[in-house]
Amino acid sequence: MPAIRQARDRLLAAAVELESRHGVAGTTVAELLKVSGVARRSLYMHFANGRDDVVTEATAVAGQAFLSDLRSAASALCPARALDAIVERVRVRLVETDFDSSCPVLAAGLGGQTVPGARVSAGQTFLAARQQLAGDLEGNGVPAAQAASIAGLILASVEGAQAIGVATRSTDFLDDVRTQLSALLLTSTQTTATNRTPE
């Protein structure tokens, strides 16, 4: 009863969840309070600027989680298998939420005109992810020039397929992306015989 667990964390978790499902605009204070079970006043204790602060910080949190997932997949597996793992995670999430949930970072980027901080944070996440992914590809023998644009393609197509999956209520596009990118990664990384080491 005496809510020992941080109201702040519950608010951020709720915000990430709501952004995924209903976008930034659908992440209202009322919903935030309902989902997190936190009192109205507590929100303004932890986030001086109210809703915008929650959304912005939640976007940063989701972005860090995204980068972390990417890193752990890349460090444990070869690029083609890492991609598989990431796509599979997205696929499961789509299906389990009955195609109602897409990427919170993408949602923050799109809905970010109303919450500029969230848009900036989302952009930074995508740029960091691209760089990280490109580095991993280079480590697997992909030429630097190619690595960057392949990384961009991977991120764009996975995010796009996820969003289109919500619209079509299917995983078709995600499956397409996996099929084609797997093939691309296999041919691109063929040059290296051995697997590489994480940092």
Partner DNA sequence: GTCGAAGTAGACTAGTTCGTCTACTATGGG
Partner DNA sequence: CCCATAGTAGACGAACTAGTCTACTTCGAC
Q: In the complex, which residues of this chain contact a copy of itself (CB under 8 A)?
A: 21-23, 25-26, 100, 102, 105-114, 119, 122-123, 126-127, 130, 148-153, 155-161, 163-164, 166-169, 172-177, 179-181, 183-184, 186, 197-199
Residue 135 interacts with which of DNA, a copy of itself, none, CB < 5 to 8 Å by class? none
Strands (E), 20-108: none
CB 18 within 8 A of CB 35: yes
The stretch near DNA (CB under 7 A) out of 4-12, 13-21, 77-85, 131-139 is 4-12
| Dist CA 9 CA 184 (whole Å) | 40
Residue 64 contacts residue 128 (beta carbons within 8 Å) = no
Judged by beta carbon distances under 5 to 8 A according to partner kind, the member of a copy of itself, DNA, none in contact with residue 180 is: a copy of itself
Question: Which DSSP state fits 199?
Answer: -
Output DSSP code: residue 20.
Answer: H
Asked if residue 51 binds DNA (CB under 7 A), the reply is yes
Q: Rounded to whole angstroms, how far apart are CA atoms 149 and 145?
A: 7
Min. distance of Cβ 80 from a copy of itself in angstroms? 11
Judged by CB under 7 A, the stretch of 27-35, 99-107, 129-137, 141-149 that binds DNA is 27-35
Give the C-alpha separation, 132 to 136, whole Å. Answer: 6
- Copy the structure tokens of residue 30: 């009322």
Residues at the site binding DNA, with contacts judged by CB under 7 A: 1-8, 28-31, 37-42, 44-46, 49-52
